[in-house]
Structure 1
Amino acid sequence: MNLLYYVFFAVQILVGIHFLMPLFFYIISLLKKKKTNVEVGGEADYAVIVTAYLQVTQVPFAVNSILKANYNNYIIYVVADNCDVSGLHFEDQRVVVLRPEEVLASNTKSHFYAINRFKRPHERLTIIDSDNLVHQEYFNELNKVFDQGYEAVQGVRAAKNLDTTYACLDEAGDIYYRLVDRKLMFEAGSSAALSGSGMAFTTALYRNCLETTEILGAGFDKILQYEIISRGKRIAFAEHAVVYDEKTSKTDQLVNQRSRWINTWFKYLFLGAKMMMRSIGRVDWNQFLFSTMLLRPPLFMLIMISFLFFIIDLFIMPVFALYWVLCVFFFIAAVFSALSYFQADGRIYKSLKNAPKFIYFQILALLKARRANQISIATEHYHEEKIDDSNKV
C-alpha cells in the first residue's frame, strides 16, 4: 500500500511539473548571457517552398505576400499536390508552379519534389503553407538569426483571422506555446519547437535530416526537430520573423485538425523517451530540456489529468491538493504573461471564458485520434482573403 502511495505521489509530481516549467525556463534564461548583436551579412539565397494539397484558392495570396517582402534573393516553388493549377498564373519569374505527376499526399515528399527541381543551389529554404501570409521583414529577420550561426530557425505563426471564438482560442493556445515551447525553451539553452511552417533551414541540414526518411501521415515537423537536435544542433527562435496563419474557425475543422495532432503526439511519443535517455547519457542540456517538452501531453489532456488528480487528492491526501492549486496559479500566470508579451488582441482575452467548450471539442478529437490520418491529411480552409493584409504588424 505504501509503495502505491509513493508511486501515485511521484506520478502527480511529474505531471504537475509541466505547469511549473515556464517559470523554470524563465529563471534559467535570466541566468544565461544574452548574445550581443551580430552584424547581418548580405541577402542569402532562399528557396521558398509553398505547399498546397487539394486546395489552391489561397495560394495567390500567399505568393503575393512573399513577392511584397522587403527582400529580393529568392525563388518561390509552389508545389500543388493533387490540385487543379489551371487558374494559377504568375507573371513574376521568381515563381515556379510545380504539379506532381502522381499524388504525393505528404509534406516531405512535396518539399523534396521542389528541392529536386531547384533552379539553382539555394543556400537556405523556408517552408510556407498555402494559407500563410508573410510579413515584409520575414527574410531579414530570419537572416539576423542565421547570421548568429544557427542552421535551423522557427519564426512566429500569428493569426490572420480572429473572426470566431474558436479561432481566438486557437490563437490563445498558440501564443502560450509560442512563449513556453519556443521563446523560453530557446532562451533557456534548448531549442524552439517547430510548428510546420514559418520555419527555415540551411538546405544542407534539411536534406541531411529527411532525404532518406519516408514519413507517412502528419508530423513531419516532429521527426525533423528530433533529427536536428539529435545531431547536436539547436533550433533558434526568431520572434520577429512572422507569418500569418489561418486558425480553426469551425468545430468540425477543429476536431479533425486536433485529432491528427493528438494522433501524432501518441505516434512519436517514443522519440521523447529516446531523446531523454540519450541526453542523460551524454549530459546534453539541449536534448534533455527538449525531451521534456516532447513527453508533455497536449495541454487539454494535461488539464484533464490534473483535475482528476486534484479530485482524488481531496479524498486521500488533501494537503497535496494544494500542489495543484499552485500549478493552476502558475499556469494561469504563464497564459496571461504570454498574451501580454505578444500583445494579444482583445478578442482573445474575451474568448477565454469559452475555453471549456474548446476543451470539449478536443476531447471529441481524442476519441477520433486513432483513425485521424484516415479522415484527411489536410486542414480545410474557410477564411477568405478580402483585403491585402500581408503587411500586418
Structure 2
Amino acid sequence: MLENFIHILYWLFFSYFAASIIYLFVLALGGRLFYKNLNSYTSDIQKYRKVAILVPAYKEDEIILSTANNLLALNYPKDSFNVFIIADSFRAETIAELRQLPLQVIEVSFDKSTKTKALNVAFSTIREPFDVALICDADNMLAPDFLQKLNSAFENGNKAIQGRRVAKNLDSSFAILDACSEAINNNIFRKGNNGLGLSSAVIGSGMAFDYERVKQILLSINAVGGFDKILQLEVVGDGTSIRYLDDALVFDEKVSSAQAFQQQRKRWLSSQFVYFKQFFLPAIKKLFKGNFSYFNLAIPCNLVLPRAFLLALLPLFAIISFFVVRQWGIWSSGLFLLYMITLAIALPRKLVNKQFVSALLSAPKAVLLMVLAVFHIRKANKTFIHTIHTKKEITNVQFQDKIR
C-alpha cells in the first residue's frame, strides 16, 4: 500500500515538473528561433499617433523628477505626446517642482492605494483625445526612440504593445539576479509567446494600448496587486494580440536588497496564485472557442512555478528519487539538465560575465527568500506593497549606446 502511494506521488510530481519544463523549453526555443521573423516595423510613418504617457506614482519623491525629465526628452513630436504624473502621497515641494515642467500633474489620495485607482482617476480627469495610452512605473526611463518604435508598431495595425524592460542598474548581486530573471522571462513569456503565434504576456509597465479600449477595461478592474494580469486577459479576450517589441527599451530599477527582493516576489507570487484560480474556468471556455492566447496566459503561465523555485526543487527531487528508485533519480536528473538548458537558451549572452558569476553566490539566498515569501502570499494580494526606488540615472553600461 505504501509502495503504491510512493509510486503515485512520484509520478504526480514528475509529470508536473516535466510538463512545466517542456513548456518553458518550447517557449525558450520559440523566442530564440522564431521571434525575429514576426516583427518588421516600417519607417515610413503616415501618422504620429497622440500618446498619453501615464505614470502612477506612490511616494516617489526621490526619483520622479528624473523620470519626468527623461520622458519629456523623448525623440517624438512634442505636440504628439503628453506626460501625466499621477501623484499619490507626494510632498508639497515635489508637486511644486513637477508643476514647473511641461507636463500634467494629477494629485490623488486613497485609503488603500492601487495603480488601478490612480489610472482610473487619470482617465476620468483627462479631457484631450489620445490614440494610445502608455503605462509606465515611476522608476521607468525610456530609450529616446521608444515612442517612435511604439508608433511604428501601431502603424502596422497592432493595438497592444509590451516594450522590453531591462535593468536600469546592475549595482548589486540581487540587482543582477533580478535583471537575469527578467531577461529570461522576456525571452520565454514575451518573445517565445509571439514566436509561436501567441500573445505576449505584459510586465506591468512599458505597456501601451488603444487609449479608449484600455480606459474602458480599467473601469472594470478592482485589483490591489497584479492588475496587469487581469488587463492582459481582458485585452486578448476579444482576440487582440499583445505584441512584444524587443528593441523598444524600458529601463526599470532592479532591487538592491534582500528585503526588497522578497517583498517584490511576494507580490508576484500572490497575483499568480490568485488569478490562476479566478480565471481557470473562463480560460477553459476560451480554449474551446479557439482563443489559445487567453488560455496560455491564464493557466500555463500561472501554473508554472517561478524559475527560482524550479532551480531549488528539481535537484532536491532528483536526490530523493535516487534513494527510492535509482532509475527515477536518473529521469529526474534529466529533467534538471533540460531545465538548465532552457535557462541557458533564454538568458542573453551579454549578461553572462564576471559580475554574473559573482552574483550566483547570492542565488541560494534569493531562492530561500522566494520560498519564505510563499508563507506570506495570502495577505499580499489584499495589501498594497510599495517598492522604494532611489536610482535617478541609467547606470547599466550594457545599454549606454541606446540612451545617447
TM-score, length-normalised on structure 1? 0.89
Task: Call closer, same or farther: CA 1:5–1:147 in 2, change over 3 Å.
Answer: farther
Structure 2 unmatched runs, 5+: none
Contact 1:153 / 1:238 at 8 angstroms: preserved in 2? yes
SS where residue 283 of structure 1 aligns?
coil
Question: What's the C-alpha RMSD, in Å, of the aligned pairs?
Answer: 2.9
| Letter matched to residue 34 of structure 1 | N
Distance 1:177 1:296 in 2: 12
Query: Structure 2: how far apart are the matches of 1:341 and 1:69?
Result: 29
Which consecutive segments of 4 or more residues in structure 1 shift more than 6 A? 386-391
User: 1:172 corresponds to which residue?
Assistant: 180
Mapped pair 1:77 → 2:79? no
Residue among 116, 123, 146 paired with 2:154: 146
Matched, 1:14 2:22: no
User: 5+ unaligned residues in a row in structure 1: which ranges?
Assistant: none
SS of 1:190's partner is: coil
Q: How does 1:45-194 map to 2 (within 5 A)?
A: 45-72=50-77, 73-88=80-95, 89-90=97-98, 94-100=102-108, 102-103=110-111, 105-194=113-202
Question: How big is each residue's C-alpha offset from its partner over 1:10-45, in whole Å with a ceiling of 9 and x where there is no partner?
Answer: 442232222222432355675799347353432111
Over residues 80-105 of structure 1, what are the superposed CA-to-partner deviations in whole Å (9 max), with x where a residue is unaligned? 11222422424777400111254560
Partner of 2:85: helix, strand, or coil? Answer: strand
Residue 286 to residue 84, structure 1, CA distance change in 2 (3 Å): same
- Give how far 1:142 is off: 1.5
**Larger deviation: 177-186 or 114-123?**
114-123
CA separation of 1:386 and 1:71: change in aligned 2, threshold 3 A: closer
- 2:152, 2:112 → 1: CA distance? 34
Match of 1:196 among 195, 204, 216: 204
How far 1:149 moved relative to its partner? 2.0
Question: Does residue 40 of structure 2 align to residue 37 of structure 1?
Answer: yes
Number of residue pairs the alignment of both structures matches? 392
SS at match of 1:155: strand
Say yes or no: does 1:378 pair with 2:390.
no
For residue 308 of structure 1, report the CA deviation from its aligned partner: 4.1
**1:381 partner amino acid:** H
Label 1:36 to 1:388 Cα distance change in 2 as closer, same or farther (>3 A): closer
| Maintained 8 Å contact 1:65/1:133 | yes
How far is 1:373 from its partner? 5.0
| CA positional deviation for 1:214 | 1.8
Q: Alpha-carbon deviation of 1:66?
A: 1.0
Question: Letter of the aligned partner of 1:54 in structure 2?
Answer: K
Q: Is the 8 A contact 2:35 2:194 kept in 1?
A: no
Asked if structure 2 preserves the Cα contact closer than 8 Å seen for 1:166 and 1:249, the reply is yes
User: Helix, strand or coil: the match of 2:388?
Assistant: coil
The aligned counterpart of 1:251 is 258
Code of the aligned partner of 1:136: P
* Corresponding residue SS for 2:162: strand
- Sort the Cα spacing of 1:102 and 1:312 in 2 relative to 1 into closer, same or farther, 3 A: closer
More off after superposition, 24-33 vs 98-107 = 24-33
Q: Percent identity?
A: 25
